[in-house]
Amino acid sequence: QIRVLTGITPSGTPHLGNYVGAIRPAIAASRAPGVESFYFLADYHALVKVQEPERVQRSTLEIAAAWLACGLEPDHVRFYRQSDIPEATELTWLLTCVAGKGLLNRAHAYKAAVDRNREGGEDDDAGITAGLFMYPVLMAADILLFNAHKVPVGRDQVQHIEMARDFAQRFNHLYGDHFTLPEAAIEEQVATLPGLDGRKMSKSYDNTIPLFAPPAQLKKLIFSIVTDSRAPGEPKDTEGSALFQLYQAFASAEETQAMRAAYADGIGWGDAKQELFERVDAEVAPLREKYEALVAHPQRIEQQLRDGAQALRTQYATPFLRELRAAVGLRELG
Ligand code: TYM
């Protein structure tokens, strides 16, 4: 049995990057034989970025509905909300005490925040919370709590998984073999999906295409993707083209080959955008309908999430934390 685990932070509306980087490959993986899947909403992580309670709740509902609309089967997949499993925070402390501070200093998100402060002439850590700094330890706890083998993610999360391996190794070295060392699973051609401006599609860059945007908005957004100024008839580069990379994430290998040829032949940007719109809409339209039906019944989703977490606590989290507490020398809980 291989254990596959991944999470999405409910800090906004699910976007195409979440879909191609995490949801789509994770659901495909959950259908393979011999796989046990753990998919969750990382709402403790959301607090690092979002301090608006309603937004966290709305986003939790939307991302849960997105998972279900995209085909997650709650009877076959462990589906839960991180904060319903408080053992994750207790494990975070146990890992904090073996996590190298120097390693955390090198985490991309933290370093980027420090760099921004330096550029602005501020103190290195101005406005940076300990939550942002500790983010990788909390994420390691998510993964190690269930001894996951594989973690399907986009490229931006790989460093976090390497850190989880490092913390697990140190813990195992000190206290015996308790943790499986996890591995990142990345789909190469969609490792980083670009957003409207060509940078990584991300809520923080405000360049996302919502996964379930209505067709008119989807089309409008796709037509606003940056391109160079080459006219129809002039050959176009596929290399470094956000439009082409997006197309590739939604097309078969043959369609991608054909589009590559069309670029060389000088397809106009308007036509290339129309083709992308049609391709994305064809894939997303049936999911969008399911999504609309699901978000209309938040209580049903709420119940599924609670049931998922309760079963996991009883079967894994509580007994595992008992084992770990004993291993480090803490009192056995009654
Ligand atoms: P988050 O919420 O930023 O993103 C969720 C997933 O979507 C992927 N992703 C992308 N993939 C390709 N191209 C993009 N432009 C793009 N944008 C987002 C991310 O790589 C990720 O797989 N820290 C995590 C959530 C988390 C987690 C975990 C993941 C918490 N605990 C344990 C795995 C295992 C995060 O904030 O992802």
Q: Is 208 in the pocket of ligand 1 (CB under 6 A)?
A: no
Which pTM was predicted? 0.94
pLDDT at residue 155 in the model: 86
Who contacts 225 (Cβ-Cβ below 8 Å, separation ≥6)? 196, 242, 243, 246, 273, 276
pLDDT tens-digit series, residues 198-232: 999 998 899 999 999 999 999 999 999 999 989 99
- Measured in Å, residue 28 CA sits from the centre of ligand 1 at 17
* Lowest mean pLDDT, pick from 153-167, 181-195, 305-319: 181-195
CA distances from 99 to 136, 146, 164, 174 (A): 10, 19, 9, 12
Domains annotated for the chain, with CATH where assigned, are 2-98+139-193+297-328 (3.40.50.620), 212-292 (1.10.240.10)
Beta bridge partners of 200: 194
Rounded CA separation 101/14 (Å): 32
| Three-state secondary structure string covering 176-199 | CCCCCCCEEECCHHHCCCECCCCC
Mean per-residue pLDDT of the chain: 95
Tell me 211's DSSP state: T
Summarize pLDDT for 2-56 with one digit per residue, the tens: 999 999 999 999 999 999 988 998 999 999 999 999 999 999 999 999 999 999 9
Per-residue pLDDT, averaged over 261-284, amounts to: 96
Q: Ligand 1: distance of its center to the CA of 158 in Å?
A: 10
Cα 229 from chain centroid? 33
18 labelled ligand-binding? yes
CA 236 to centroid of ligand 1, rounded, Å:
31
pLDDT confidence of residue 333: 76
Q: Is the CB of 63 under 6 A from ligand 1?
A: no
Mutate to test the pocket of ligand 1, among 55, 139, 156, 225 (most ligand atoms within 8 A of CB): 156
pLDDT at 334 > cutoff 70: no
Is 298 annotated as ligand-binding? no
